[in-house]
Amino acid sequence: MILAITAIKARSVALAGFGLDSLIEIGASAVVVWELSSTGESRQRRALRLIAYAFIALAVYLLVQSTWVLASGHRAAHSPAGIGWTAITAAVMFALAAGKARTGAALGNLVQGWPRRTRAAG
């Protein structure tokens, strides 16, 4: 909510995009929890597709909004609250992403993290 309010006040596409990305990350985490509640390759593929569609939708939104902003010459206002909130959430998100990737790799789960690559013996 804080990011949405600051994005609207500053009329900032970047802040709105970051806020939407945060919502997508929460949704992706819910998909991961859902995916972990059962096993199966088809369920993993479905989970990966859901996450991918959310990020594709975000990319389309940012492309359209950014094009409009560039074409209209719009300049967003400065937002110290938006800058501070973005810095804090970025640090937390990077830490959580690293933990999620480590956990996923340890579990060999493609949705949570990249699988570990092991060298072939010999």
Band (110; pLDDT cuts 50, 70, 90): low
Q: According to the model, what pLDDT value does residue 115 have?
A: 47
**Residue of 10, 55, 48 lying closest to 32 (CA atoms):** 48
| pTM reported for the whole predicted model | 0.56
Q: According to the model, what pLDDT value does residue 119 have?
A: 46
**Residues 42-82 pLDDT 10s:** 777 887 888 888 889 888 988 888 898 888 887 877 888 87
**Residues 3-42 pLDDT 10s:** 778 888 888 887 888 788 778 877 777 777 777 766 677 7
> Kind and range of the H or E element at 117?
none
